[in-house]
Structure 1
C-alpha cells in the first residue's frame, strides 16, 4: 500500500536539489555521531551506535508523506521537496539495510556463501519484480477503461501476486514487509491501480491492522527496566540527540547551499526528523530476531513516540504557506489594474462540463490587441493512490495527461484559434492534488503569474429546469479555501446549463449584462469587471445602484467616496457610447424592495454580476440584513445565494465577485 503510492517521477521534478539534500542529510549525522563516539568514553559498542544512527538519520518517505498530508502541505513547494528528499533517503537506507542483513546472516550462519547467496537472491528478486510483475500490472492498467477501477479479477490477481512475492522475500532471508514495499514501488501509482488498492484496502489497514500492530508493539515494552537502568541508558539517549542534531544541520546546510530561505530551510529540517510507522516496523523486526535488548527497545520506542508527537505541531507552528499570499504591497485586482492593458486570469476547471460557460465568459473579456487577455487554465484532478501531487504545464501525450485533460485543453485551444492570437493566449496546467490542498497550487500560480482574478466553477450543477443536478462538497471546500487565501480577486461562476458546448460558447455571445450594485469593495470589483467586459463594443451594461430611502443610516464615508469614484469611472468609460450604458439609482426601503426589483429585471440579461459582500469583511448594508439572515452558501454572499436558489427561478448565468482581501496583514 505504501510502495504503490510512491511515484519516482517526483525526482525528475525536484531535480538535483532533493538528491543533494537527501544525501547530505543522511551522511552528516552518521559522520558526526561516529566522530563523537570515537572521541567520547562510552560504554556503548560501535554496533549499538550504528543502530541509533540507522534509526535517527533516516527520513522515511512514508512518514514524511503522512505528516504532510495531515498538515495539508502535501502539494506545497516545500512539501514536494520534502517528499523527493525523503525518497532519496529511503533508497539510501534500504541499500544500507541490505548490507546489514548480509552481515547479520554471515555472523549467525558463519558462512559467507549463505550471506552472499541471500544478497544475490534479493537482486534476482528485484529483477523479477521489474521485468515480470511490473509489465503484467502495466498490461492490466492499459486494459482498464480510463476513470474506471480495476475489475475484481484483476484486483484479486494483484493481491495474490503481492502476497506470493512477499513470501519469497521472507524465504530468501529478507523481511516480508520489505518485499511487499518493493513490489508496491514497482506497480504503477495513481489510478486505476493505486486508487483501487487505496479504496479497498486503506480503510482496513488504517482502522484494523495498524492499531493491532501498534498494540502488539506496546505489549513488548518494559518500563520498569528503563527506570532500573536509567543511568546506564544516558549514553544511548545522548547519541540519539547527537544524531538528530546532525540530521538537522545536515539538511539545513544542504538547503542553504541550494539557496532555500532560512524559514523554509528550518521547516524542511524538522520535516526530515519526523518519525512514525517505518521506524516502528524496523524496531519490531529487530525485536523479533532478538537483535535488541528489551530495555533499549523500550527507550527507542519512547523516543520515536516523542518525536512523532512533537514534529507535527512544531512544523505547523513555524510554517504557514498561505502567508506568502498576503503580500501587503501589491493589489492584484481588476479595479486596480490597467483598464487599457493586459488582463491576466486563472481559470479553474474540474470537469468538461465547466468548460463552455467559462469560455463564454472569457470570450466577452476579449477586447482588442491593446487589451490582451492571458488565460492560465488549470485542470484540477483529485490525488488518489499516490503521495506525489503535481502542478505542471500541460503537454499532450505525457504521463500526467488524461483523456479528460486532453478534451478540456483541446476546447480552450479551439477557443484560442477562433479568436485573434493577438487578443488571447492560453497557458494550460494540470494540478493533481488532494482537494483539501488544491487552493495552495491555485493561489501559488496566481501569485507567480500576477493574475488579477481567479475564476472558479460553482460546486453545484443547476439545470435550466432550475433543479440541482449534482453537488460536489470537495469542490466547494476548494472554492472556500481559495476565497480565504487568494492573493488576488476571485469570482465564482454559477452556470444554469445555458451553454452546452464550446461552439455554442463562442457563437452565443454575451451582449447584455447587469450589475446589482449596493456598495463596498466586492461590488466595486464586480463593476470593474463589468467595465472591462463593456469595452467590448457589442456589450450593453445596465447598473442598478440600490440606495436606502427615508432612513438615517451610518455610512462609511471612505467606502462611499470610492463607490462614487467607481460610478464616475463607469460613466467616463461610456461617455462616447452612452447608448450602451443604463445606470439607474433605485431607492428602496429595505431588502424586500431590492429583491423585488432584481426578480423583475434579471431575465432581460445574458449574465449577472454581483459582489460577494462577505459578512465580517465589510460593513453590511441594511438592505441585505434580512436577505443574509438564513445564509447557507456563504461563498456566494447573500445576493449570489439568492440568485442561485430555486425560489427566485433565475436561469441567467451569474458571476459572484470578491475583491482581493489580504492587503494589510503583514
Structure 2
C-alpha cells in the first residue's frame, strides 16, 4: 500500500474563461438564475459575510461557557465544510473549486501577515535573558515528547510503506511542538498574560518554540533530501540565502532608518509602506527558493528590533485587522477542508493514520507530565504546575496551519487532518475552561488580613505602593510620603512601581531594580524614578526604605501587577495618580482615559486600601522647596462625615499630625437629620475613631478639630468652595455606597468621576478654580 488510503474520485468541473470578477449589478442580472455565484468577487464577499456572521453567533452562544475564539472558528468551518457536501448541493455551489482557490489564497495571505506580526512582537534575545526556570521548564517540554515520540514510532513501523516511515519524524516534530503565538493568544484571552504564571508561561514557550521550529525544519529538510537530494540541497541553500539577506541587508537598513527617526516618534508612512512591500516580496522569494511563502515574512519580523518605532507602526496598522478579521477567516478556511465522515473509516483501514493517532496521544501526555514535573521541581505550587502544563500543551492556529500545509504536500491524508482537527478542537475548547476554573483571580487577590492604615499598630512600618505613570507623578508622591512623618519608630517603606504600556512586543516584563541593576537597552526605562526615590531614601536615612520596580504590560492587565505586588509586599496603601493633569493656572493639561480605567480596576480589586492623588502642581512645588532646605508650613484639611473610607482618611491624617511642619484641620460635617442608612455599629466605630483622634492629636496649636452641621448636598458644596483655597491638600474618603447621606444628597447626579467619590470629584472639578490638591482614600474592602 503506497501512501494513504483514500477514495479516488474523478469529477468534471466547468469554469468560465476568462473568469468573471465583478458583477454587472443586481438589475442587469436579476433574470439570470444564481447569477451571483458566477462572479468571484461577489462570491468571496458572500462567503466572508457568512463566515463572520455564523462565527459571531456561535461564539456569542459558547463564550459564556469559557470556549475560546478558535474553537468557535473551527466549528464554523466544520459547519460549512465538506463533511456534509453530499447532503447539501447548495453548499457545493457556494464553495466550488475555483472559489476555494481564491479563498485559500486570501486565508494564506492572512496567515502570512499573522506570522509576520507575531515575529515582530517576539523578542528572540529574551531566550538568553530569561531566568533558569523558563529553560528548566521549556526545554524538556519539547525534547522529552520528541524523544518519546521517535522512540514509540520505531516500534510501530509494521504495515507502513517506506514513504510513510520517512514522514514519521516530521509528524512527531509537529505533534511535539510548543507554539509561542498560540500560548500568547491563549494567555491574552484568559487575561493572565501579565501575571507571574503568565510571564513564566510565555518565557518557557519562547524557549520551547525556538527548538520546536528548528526540529520541524530539520525533520522536513531530511524528508525532502531522502526523497530528492537535489531538491533538498536547493531548499537548504534557499533558506541560507534568505537568512543572509535578512541579517546583512534588511536588518542594517531598518536600524539605519530607526536612527534617523526622532526619539518617541513613529516611523514615517512611506517607510512603513516600503517595509510592507518588502514583506510581500519576501513571500514570493521564499516560494522561488523552495520554502513555504510564510518563511520570508517570519524571518523579516524576527529581524525587526523589538519595541522600536518601526515595529510600533507596523503593529498599530496591521494587528487589529489581521487578528480580528483575517485570522478567523484563515481558521475557518482550514476547517473547511476537514471531512469528518472519514474519521472512523480511515482509522479502521489505514495503519499510517492509527500510528499518527497513537503518536499524538503519546507526545501530548509526555509533554503534559514533563511540564508538570519540571514545574514542581521549580517550586511552583500544585495548582500553578497544573495550569502551566495545560498552557504549554495548548494547540491552536499554528498547529492547524501545519496540518493543512501537510495535507497539501501529501504528507498526511484528509482522514488524518480530520482526526487532528478534532483533537485540536477538543484541546482548544476544554483547556481554557479548565484554566478558568483553576485561575481564580479573586482568590489570588483576596486577603484575610486587615491591610489598611486604620489597623496598623502604633510603631509598625507603614508600607505604601506608589504607582508612577509619568515623571510628573514622582514629586507629588514623594512629598505626600514625606509629610506622613517617617521616623525611626514609625518607618515608611515605599515600593515605587513604574507602569509602562507594552507596545510592539508580546512578552510583558516585570523588573525589580534591587535585583536587576543593569540598564535595559541604552538607558533604564525608569531612571528618573530610581534617582528620585533613591534621594528620598538617603534624605531620610533609617526612616525610609525605597524599592523600585518597572512593569511593562498591556494597560488592561496592569492592575494584576499592582495587586500582586501589593500582596507580596503586604502594603497598607496603594497610591494612584489621577488621570488628569493641570497647568499652573488650573486648566486641564492632559487627560488619559486608559489611566482612569486602570484606577477603576485597582479600586475594585485591590487587596488593601487605595488612594487617588489629584495633584494640581502645588505638591510638586512644595517638594522642591523642602528638598532645597527651605522651611515651609503645609496646610491639610480632612473632611469627615463618617463611614469606613472617612475613618481611613482620618487614620492617615493622624500620621500627618506628627510632622511639626504640618497644620492639620479636621472638619466633621454632621447632619441635623437622622441618617437611617447607617447602622449602630458604624456609628459606634465613627465615634471611637473621633475620640481616639482627639486624645492623640489635639493639644497642639497645629491641629484643629471643627464640627459643623450641613443640611444637604448644596450646603456642603458651598462650604467646600469657601474652605478649599485655605489649604494645600484636602483629604476625603471616597464613601462608596454612602452617596444618599444627608450631607451629600443631591450631589451624586453631578458626579463626573465616581472613582473620586462625591467630595473628591467636587474639589477636583473645574467648577472650583483652585490649586489645592486632593487625596481620595478608600479603605480595604
- The normalised TM-score by structure 1 is 0.89
The equivalent of 1:482 in structure 2 is 602
Deviates more, 1:529-538 or 1:318-327: 318-327
Task: Tell me what 1:542 maps to.
Answer: 665
Equivalent residues of 2:468, 2:474 under 8 A apart = yes
* Kept in 1: contact 2:586–2:771 (CA 8 A): yes
> 1:158 & 1:229 partners in 2: Cα distance?
46
Answer yes or no: is 1:22 the counterpart of 2:145. no
Q: Which residue of 1 aligns with 2:685?
A: 562
SS of alignment partner, residue 590 of structure 2: strand
Q: CA deviation at 1:267?
A: 0.7
Structure 1 position 458, deviation (Å)? 0.7
- CA gap 1:251/1:573 in 2 versus in 1, 3 angstroms: same
CA contact (8 A) 1:591 1:623 kept: yes
Which of 547, 555, 574 is matched with 1:435 structurally? 555
User: Among residues 455, 459, 462, which one is paired with 1:340 in the alignment?
Assistant: 459
Contact 1:396–1:406 (8 Å) recurs in 2? no
Q: What aligned pairs does 1:483-562 form with structure 2 within 5 A after superposition?
A: 483-499=603-619, 503=624, 506=627, 511-551=634-674, 553=676, 555-562=678-685
5 Å-filtered alignment, 1:188-337, equals 188-226=305-343, 228-229=345-346, 231-232=348-349, 236-237=356-357, 239-328=359-448, 330-337=449-456
Instruction: Judge conservation of contact 2:157–2:165 (CA < 8 Å) in 1.
Output: no
| Residue 664 of structure 1: aligned partner | none
Q: Which residue of 1 aligns with 2:76?
A: none
TM-aligned CA deviation for residue 153 of structure 1? 4.2
Match of 1:633 among 753, 758, 761: 753
Which structure is richer in relative contact order (CA contacts within 8 A, separation 6 or more)? 1
How far apart are 1:256 and its partner, in Å?
1.3
Which of 599, 604, 613 aligns to 2:721? It is 599
Structure-2 change in CA distance of 1:562 and 1:46 (3 Å): farther
Separation in 1 of the partners of 2:626 and 2:766?
24
- Using the TM superposition, give the Cα deviation of residue 415 of structure 1 relative to its aligned residue in structure 2, in angstroms: 4.5
> How far did 1:257 drift?
1.5
Q: Specify which of 643, 654, 659 is matched with residue 774 of structure 2.
A: 654
Match of 1:354 in 2: 473
Q: Does 1:579 align with 2:698?
A: no
Q: Which has the larger radius of gyration?
A: 2
Cα shift at 1:640: 1.6
> How far did 1:561 drift?
2.6
Which residue pairs with 1:83 in the alignment? Answer: 202
Partner SS state of residue 626, structure 1: coil
Correspondence for 1:158: 275
Per-residue deviation, 1:517 = 0.9
Contact 2:473 2:577 in 1 (8 A): yes
Q: 1:115 to 1:503 in 2, by over 3 A?
A: same
What is the SS of the residue equivalent to 1:145? Answer: coil
Q: Is the 8 A contact 1:521 1:659 kept in 2?
A: yes
- Equivalent position SS for 1:290: coil
Following superposition, the deviation at residue 229 of structure 1 comes to 4.0
SS at match of 2:360: helix
Distance 1:567 1:195 in 2: 54
Match of 2:527 among 406, 412, 417: 406
User: Are the counterparts in 1 of residues 191 and 557 from structure 2 also a CA contact under 8 Å?
Assistant: yes
Paired residues of 1:98 and 1:119 also in contact (CA < 8 A)? no
Instruction: Evaluate the alpha carbon distance shift between residue 308 and residue 387 of structure 1 in structure 2; reply closer, same or farther with a 3 A threshold.
Output: same
Aligned partner of 2:506 among 387, 393, 415: 387
How far apart are the structure 2 equivalents of 1:204 and 1:585? 60
Number of the residue aligned with 2:295: 178
Q: For residues 121 and 388 of structure 1, what CA distance do their matches in structure 2 show?
A: 31
Asked if residue 148 in structure 1 is aligned to residue 269 in structure 2, the reply is no
Q: Determine if contact 1:75/1:433 at 8 Å carries over to the other structure.
A: yes
Indicate conservation of the 8 Å contact 1:356/1:505, yes or no.
Answer: no
**C-alpha distance 456-286 of structure 1, shift in aligned 2 (>3 A):** same
Deviations 1:204-257, CA, capped at 9 Å, x for gaps: 422443244334323433334346546456765454334322221121011112
Alignment check: 8 A CA contact 1:367 1:535 kept: no
Structure 2 unaligned residues grouped into runs of 5+:
1-116
The yes-or-no answer on 1:3 pairing with 2:124 is: no
Name stretches of at least 5 consecutive residues in structure 1 with no aligned partner.
662-666
Supply the distance in 2 between the matched residues of 1:230 and 1:39 (Cα, whole angstroms): 18
Q: How many residues align?
A: 654
**1:70 is the counterpart of 2:189:** yes
Tell me the secondary structure at the aligned position of residue 347 of structure 1: strand
Checking the alignment, whether the CA contact within 8 Å between 1:364 and 1:509 is kept in structure 2 is no
Contact 1:76/1:440 (8 A) holds in 2? yes
Is contact 1:490–1:658 with CA below 8 Å preserved after alignment? yes
Aligned partners of 2:313 and 2:756: how far apart in 1? Answer: 35
Residues 1:552 and 1:164: Cα distance change in structure 2 (over 3 Å):
closer
Distance verdict in 2 for CA 1:486–1:7, change over 3 Å: same
Structure 1 residues 218, 341: closer, same or farther in 2, change over 3 A? closer
Aligned equivalents of 2:421 and 2:521: distance in 1? 40
SS of equivalent to 1:142: helix
Contact 2:202–2:507 (Cα < 8 Å) also in 1: yes
1:469 to partner: Cα distance: 3.3
Query: Quick one: distance in 1 between partners of 2:533 and 2:675?
Result: 51
Partners of 1:227 and 1:198 in 2: how far apart? 43
Name the CA distance, whole Å, in 1 between partners of 2:390 and 2:357.
19
Q: Offset at 1:648? A: 4.1
Aligned to 1:370: 489
1:153-194 Cα distance to aligned partner (Å, 9 max, x none): 443443344445544444433323133223322321113232
- After TM superposition, the structure 1 stretch with the greater mean CA deviation from structure 2, 45-54 or 561-570, is 45-54
Per-residue Cα deviation, 1:535-593 (whole angstroms, up to 9, x for no partner): 11111111112222243635423322322232233223324x42122112223333333
Shift in CA distance, 187/509, structure 1 to aligned 2, threshold 3 Å: farther
Give the conservation status (yes or no) of the 8 Å contact 1:26–1:250. no
RMSD after superposition: 3.0
Once the two structures are TM-superposed, the CA of residue 605 in structure 1 deviates from its matched residue by 0.9
Question: Partner of 2:497: helix, strand, or coil?
Answer: strand
Q: Mean alpha-carbon deviation: is it higher for 121-130 or for 524-533? A: 121-130
Is this contact kept in 1: 2:167–2:411, CA < 8 A? no
In the TM superposition, residue 294 of structure 1 has moved relative to its aligned partner by 1.8
